[in-house]
Structure 1
Amino acid sequence: MFTAKSNEDIITFSFGKSVAGYLDDISVYDFSISEELMKDGNFESGTLKNYCVCVSKDSTCERIQSDQYSGSYACKINSWGLVELSQGLKTIVGRSYNVSFWYKSQDGAYEDLYVFTSAQKTVN
């Protein structure tokens, strides 16, 4: 759960060193109006165009057709440095949103996965 800090917040999934796994079914849900804010949270669109993807050298973030939680696709993360997957959201200042996602480690080990939100645009 997070509370919006602006009218346009950003949700970021950040993966640390030595991460290999699969991300799927990302949801940022507004229960007050029964609306999903994430675009292509299940990675079914065919690309990662709804996301800002930042990867360090020798790291990858790609949409694949295996090890998904539901549907046909997931996002595969291979990080030997840093991988960040972000998306801007239209939010209302002070409103709370429910955040959920599915993640599966490729080898079952503990990995560095952080989820955070930040304000994209200041409130007037």
Structure 2
Amino acid sequence: MTMRKFALKLAVATLGVVAAGAVAIGEECAEKTTSSSLVNDYPTFARADYVYGCMMVNGQGRDILEKCACSIDVIASALPYKEYEEAETIMSVRQRGGESVAYMYAPAMLEKIKNLKRAQVEGEIRCF
């Protein structure tokens, strides 16, 4: 795992800790409550990468696997894959730092990151 991906997964975990305080009792995983008409435009490798990183941060048990899988399902239902990929790329590039990545702090770029983080928090609230 590269340092860039590790930092991304750490950011996701931090959001999880924040979201954990907001979890309502009785919330179910979106996977159990959504219909079969769920749009699946996320490639398998993207889902697997997210679940792998989530499990590296949260633990290795079967219950964590289910929660992480649920979380990416919620993200996929809230954010098209193209937007997910753009935001993930922006966050990766921004980690390089310096003047060469200053354009990554433009309002349009920040909005894409905010949308991804909102979807991640929703996943944490529903699934963890």
Common fold: TM-score over 0.5 = no
Higher relative contact order (CA 8 A, sep 6+): 1
User: Per residue, is there more strand in 1 or in 2?
Assistant: 1
TM-score (norm 2): 0.32
TM-score (norm 1): 0.33
